């Protein structure tokens, strides 16, 4: 049985980090602090009570674990333990914020239901991660270089990356290579055990003739 997020995900930040954050708050007279990413969630415990605190939820950890268990059909007493452990601690920190911004309506609803109707409940809002129109480049189909390779950017420390690449290699890579002549290039830090039968290229010369792919592991958050 395979499950990511074993219950060792919570740690304390260093004395220097905590003291620096509070020094900046006092020195710059900051009245609102906005935090990102699950790894920084517990920093809310170091922020003075008088300061307004906002958390930007890129992806709810407990909601992701729950969906992973359901998708993989690996429910057991151990997976229940991992889920409940992460859920209890995540929610305890989320409740300390004044507001929570989610990129997806799914995460907002899951967090809202899990917190329940408590007094002084954080305000929740969904603000999708938008790409503005001016950030898109216009392409002329007649002047696009032929695609020579597929490229995936990301390391194996993020479990969905590993799961997706293993699936891609096992299920579709060979068929794509035979049909279209496209090979997969993976950019990032990966265990040598995973790629012991593959060629390692230290530097990619160009990404212009490559098609970038990304995993849609659960389909509920950012890719």
Cα 75 from Cα 78, distance rounded (Å): 8
Look at residue 3 and tell me whether its pLDDT is greater than 70: no
Look at residue 183 and tell me whether its pLDDT is greater than 90: no
Q: Classify domain 15-126 at the CATH superfamily level.
A: Glycogen Phosphorylase B; (3.40.50.2000)
Q: What is the pLDDT of residue 1?
A: 42
Which distant-in-sequence residues (6+ apart) come within 8 Å of 93 by Cβ?
41, 42, 44, 45
Give the residue among 159, 203, 180 at the shortest CA–CA distance from 9: 159
Q: What residue ranges do the domains of the chain occupy?
A: 15-126, 149-213
Q: What is the pLDDT of residues 143-179, one digit of tens each?
A: 777 787 888 888 877 767 877 888 888 888 889 889 9
| Averaged pLDDT, 25-38 | 93
Q: What is the pLDDT of residue 217?
A: 55
pLDDT band of residue 205 (cuts 50, 70, 90) is low
Question: Distance of CA 168 to CAs 34, 90, 150, 214, Å?
Answer: 37, 32, 11, 11
Continuous segment of H or E residues that includes residue 79: helix 77-94
Q: Enter the pTM of the model.
A: 0.67
Q: What is the pLDDT of residue 26?
A: 93
pLDDT band of residue 222 (cuts 50, 70, 90) is very low
Q: In terms of DSSP bridges, do strands 52-57 and 99-102 run parallel, antiparallel, or are they unpaired?
A: parallel
Residue 156 phi/psi, 5° resolution?
A: -85, 0
Q: Are 220 and 107 within 8 A, CB to CB? A: yes
């Amino acid at each position: 049985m395979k499950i990511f997020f074993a219950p060792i995900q919570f740690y304390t930040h260093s004395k220097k980090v905590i003291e620096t954050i509070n020094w900046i708050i006092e020195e710059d007279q900051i009245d609102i602090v906005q935090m990102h990413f699950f790894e920084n969630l517990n920093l809310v415990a170091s922020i003075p009570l008088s300061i307004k605190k906002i958390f930007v939820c890129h992806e709810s950890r407990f909601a992701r674990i729950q969906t992973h268990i359901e998708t993989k059909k690996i429910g057991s007493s151990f997976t229940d333990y991992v889920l409940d452990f992460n859920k209890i601690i995540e929610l305890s920190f989320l409740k300390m914020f004044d507001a929570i911004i989610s990129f997806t309506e799914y995460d907002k609803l899951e967090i809202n239901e899990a917190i329940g109707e408590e007094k002084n409940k954080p305000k929740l809002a969904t603000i999708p991660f938008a790409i503005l129109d001016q950030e898109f480049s216009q392409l002329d189909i007649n002047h696009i270089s032929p695609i020579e390779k597929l490229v995936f950017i990301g390391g194996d420390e993020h479990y969905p990356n590993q799961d997706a690449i293993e699936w891609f290699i096992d299920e579709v890579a060979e068929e794509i290579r035979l049909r279209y002549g496209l090979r997969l290039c993976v950019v990032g830090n990966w265990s040598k055990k995973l790629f012991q039968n593959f060629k390692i290229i230290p530097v990619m010369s160009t990404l212009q003739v490559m098609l970038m792919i990304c995993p849609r592991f659960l389909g509920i958050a950012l890719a």
